[in-house]
Homo-oligomer: A and B are copies of this chain.
Amino acid sequence: MEGGAAALLVPPRVRRGWFVACRSADLRARPIVTRLWGLPITLFRTEGGVGALVDRCPHRNVPLSDGTVVDGTLQCPYHGWRFRPDGACTHVPGLSGAPGKAHGASAYPVREQQGFVWIWGDPEVAPEGEPFRFRLADDPTYTTVRRTVRAEGSMHMVAENALDVPHTAFVHAGLFRNDKPERTPITCVVEREADRVVCEYVGEARPEGLVGRLLSPSGGTVTHFDRFYLPSVVEVEYRIGTENHILVDAVLTPEDDYRTVLHAVVSVRTRVPGWLLKPVVLPFALWIFRQDALLLAKQTATMQAFGEQRYASTEIDLLGPHILKLMQRAAAGRLTERQTPWRKETTLLV
């Protein structure tokens, strides 16, 4: 993973996988629009379930999201054509016969679970498996917070940034770690499988910055994992001492090649009481995110100004290059090939 690597400006567009389309609470009586890899998709709720259609009437290409839900169908605002959640056209006003298959709309498979509406990323392909489940979101002994934010960066850039340790000493100086002349070596164990890559940080001290002190005033042994699951989940898990457990999951939805939505679900169990945690930790987390978002937007602008993405990595770019490789493989449809598991230990100075 060392040396320079040139890549095209179009990031790998992973389609086969479940993506969060919206939060359940945001989809009510009126249809709404979400985007996946640049294409608008309209979501609408009927008694028979949620529909997710390509947001373009097959008849004359107006947005179906401007229509209304009528009798369990979405009705186009131009000529009143009606579509079921599965895309079938049930009614063409004025036509004496019945509409046919050619008059239907493309429909994405839909699941609704744990407060999110998920869609399968390719309307032409039958879904495999089920959406990601948030491990602790339903556990009453944890405080769970959800937030949705946006970053101007490719899904890969956002995932790499979220799981990258070295930048925290600069972009978030003082919050987690600091840059200093004397650093301590720790061992990072990276393991890549067919659909995921995981890094365990062995021998890490409790982060000395404000966040570490806040969550665990008493210190203690640290267990720290960073994980990426295809197509789009990043996960950071910390245990500090025996009492403190933090699990951060962010599911990424690529609205566009360089615009990514993060649906974050954070579950925490700590000595600090839950009611106190939310008002203190949440603004903090959003502040940290804004620092990253600013950085990502500049990274995107620079790549676009130069017309290319050209990275020179070192061995402490622990996860980013693996995430890119997984995404490229998934976008090329080579996920079903048998992959040899990959494991490496690297020294990182923190």
The answer to whether B299 and A62 touch across the interface, beta carbons within 8 angstroms, is yes
Q: Contact check, A179 vs B80: say whether CB atoms are below 8 A apart.
A: yes
Given known contacts A96-B185, A166-B94, A349-B96, is B103 in contact with A314 (CB within 8 Å)?
yes
CB pair B179–A77 under 8 Å, yes or no, is: no
Query: Contacts A92-B314, A179-B93, A313-B59: A66 and B298 contacting too (C-beta < 8 A)?
Result: yes
Chain B positions within 8 Å of A77 at CB level: 170-171, 295
Q: How far apart sit A78 and B66, CA to CA, in the bound complex (Å)?
A: 42
A92's nearest neighbour on chain B, judged by CB, is B314
Encode A52-65 as 1/0 by CB contact (under 8 A) with B: 00011011111100
Q: How far is the CB of A176 from chain B (nearest CB, A)?
A: 13
Cα(A179)–Cα(B305), bound, Å: 45
* Residues of chain B contacted by A66 (CB below 8 angstroms): 298
Establish whether residues A56 and B169, one from each chain, have CB atoms under 8 Å apart when the complex forms.
Answer: no
User: Number of copies of this chain in the oligomer?
Assistant: 3
Contact A95 B60 (CB under 8 A): no
Q: Which residues of B contact A38 (CB under 8 A)?
A: 305
In the assembled complex, the Cα of A99 lies from the Cα of B3 at a distance in Å of 10
Nearest opposing residue in chain B for A67, CB measure: B170
Interface residues on A, range: 35 or more
Once bound together, how far apart are the Cα atoms of A2 and B295, in whole Å? 51
B102 touches A39 (CB 8 A): no
* CB neighbours of A58 from chain B (8 A): 4, 310-312
CB of A309 within 8 Å of the partner chain:
yes
Closest to A180 in B: B93
A332: interface (CB < 8 Å): no
Q: Give which listed residue, B59, B310, B347, contacts A61 with CB less than 8 A.
A: B310
Instruction: Write the chain B residue with the least CB distance to A77.
Output: B170
A39–B305 alpha-carbon span in the complex (Å) = 7
**A102 contacts which of B4, B55, B167, B303 (Cβ < 8 Å)?**
B4
Asked if A194 is an interface residue, CB under 8 A from chain B, the answer is no
Pair B349/A94 contact, Cβ less than 8 Å: yes
Residues of B within 8 A of A349 (CB): 93-96
Is A342 close to B, CB under 8 A? no
A315 at the interface (CB under 8 A from B): yes
Q: Determine whether the beta carbon of A169 is less than 8 Å from that of B62.
A: no
* Max chain B C-beta neighbours (<10 A), residue from A38, A102, A347: A102
Determine the chain B residues whose CB is within 8 A of the CB of A312 once the complex forms.
Answer: 58-59, 102-103
- 10 of the cross-chain contacts (CB-CB < 8 Å) are A55-B302, A61-B303, A62-B295, A78-B295, A78-B299, A80-B170, A92-B314, A94-B166, A96-B348, A102-B312
* Extra contacts besides A40-B302, A94-B316, A94-B349 (6): CB < 8 Å: A55-B302, A59-B313, A60-B299, A60-B311, A77-B295, A94-B348
